[in-house]
Amino acid sequence: MRFIRISVPYCHHHFLSSKNIQLKRNIRPNKNFFSRLFLFFVASTGNFFSVFIFIGIIIIDGCNSSHHSTYETGLNDSLFKITLPKQGWLKNDKPVGKDWTNLISSLQDWNASKEYWKLDNGILHGDYIGGKNHNYAYTKTSFKDFELQALVRMTGNEANSGVCIRLHATDADNAPGYQIDMGPGYWGCLWEERRAGMVQQFPKELAGKLVRENDWNHYYVIAKDHHIQAWLNGVKTIDTIHVAGFNEGAIGLQLCHGDKHTVLDVKCLYIRPIM
């Protein structure tokens, strides 16, 4: 009897991982089991047609196993557990699944100053030197219950920004509503502009380990009624019911005021309604 060695491909999904986070698969097919099963097939059938069937079974099983894999951060802290739900995954910088709408395919539905905001090759770019006022870009459309995906890169000097939801803006400076916040001491936090201020704070020292400075970071947000959840690079940092806040409003992005220079690039901003 001749023995044949085969290699089994795994199915992979693409995630955005931060500088100190390694996403590890905990589930692997049992190779000894597969080897024994393979030998049994060859010995019992006497032909290799069953080998091809067997290989197909292994491939399908490997793919199905990967769908149910769990992920770890490698950081020794329970707050760094990767809990990003499947619907929050990205593949090639785009959401998986159906019914997502790209909010930055154009700026037709946006209130955005051409002086500070530009859309180039699918990437929304904001650049603001600060001063007395904020500068917000925000949609003309209002959204109620939704999932939101954002892939952002913030650079500059003392930069501060935010992925904004449920805004009730009156102009580029006055935009009451929530920010899924960004900046030193603010990453992973939920801030309510011009209203409650800090609604839920994620520890600064932990955010510093989680965030990729001057690089791309991923926010996934679920907003349903007054319940707001958000994941930063796969780690849940916001989970709160804030009944005093707005339960609908515009989606937006902030360039912060003050003695700062904020440069913000957004290459993924997708929304999907929750029915």
Are residues 58 and 112 both part of a single domain? no
Are residues 63 and 17 both part of a single domain? yes
Q: What's the pLDDT score for residue 93?
A: 96
CATH number at residue 100: 2.60.120.560
Are residues 155 and 253 both part of a single domain? yes
With bands split at pLDDT 50, 70 and 90, how would you rate the model's confidence at 81? confident
177, 251 in Cβ contact below 8 A? Answer: no
Are residues 77 and 105 both part of a single domain? no
Task: Find the mean pLDDT for residues 201-226.
Answer: 96
- Provide the CB-side half-sphere exposure for 193 (13 A, CA): 30
Residue 167 has pLDDT above 90, yes or no: yes
pLDDT in tens, 3-25: 333 222 223 334 443 333 333 33
Are residues 95 and 42 both part of a single domain? no
- In this predicted model, which residue has the larger pLDDT, 70 or 130? 130
Structural domain ending residue among the three candidates 44, 64, 82:
82
Structural domain ending residue among the three candidates 82, 108, 135:
82
Are residues 69 and 128 both part of a single domain? no
Bin 220: left if φ > 0, else alpha if -120 < ψ < 50, else beta.
beta
Which amino acid, one-letter code, is at 152?
A: V
Residue 237: Cβ within 10 Å count = 24
Are residues 17 and 128 both part of a single domain? no
In DSSP terms, which residues pair with 239 in a beta bridge?
A: 229
| Residue % of the chain over a pLDDT of 70 | 71
pLDDT in tens, 32-49: 544 555 555 545 555 555
- In this predicted model, which residue has the larger pLDDT, 217 or 27? 217
Which DSSP string do the residues of 224-262 spell out, in sequence order?
ETTEEEEEETTEEEEEEE-TTS-SSBEEEEEE--BS-EE
Are residues 101 and 5 both part of a single domain? no
Are residues 188 and 96 both part of a single domain? yes
pLDDT in tens, 112-148: 999 999 999 999 999 999 999 999 999 999 999 999 9
* Structural domain span for residue 21: 1-82
- In this predicted model, which residue has the larger pLDDT, 40 or 87? 87
Q: What's the pLDDT score for residue 186?
A: 97
Are residues 193 and 175 both part of a single domain? yes
Are residues 174 and 162 both part of a single domain? yes
151, 93 in Cβ contact below 8 A? Answer: yes
With bands split at pLDDT 50, 70 and 90, how would you rate the model's confidence at 264? very high
Distances (CA, A) of 11 to 66, 170, 260: 6, 48, 44
145, 206 in Cβ contact below 8 A? Answer: no
With bands split at pLDDT 50, 70 and 90, how would you rate the model's confidence at 80? confident
Structural domain ending residue among the three candidates 34, 65, 82:
82
115, 188 in Cβ contact below 8 A? Answer: no
Average pLDDT of the chain to the nearest whole number: 81
- In this predicted model, which residue has the larger pLDDT, 216 or 275? 216
The total number of structural domains in the chain stands at 2
Are residues 214 and 258 both part of a single domain? yes
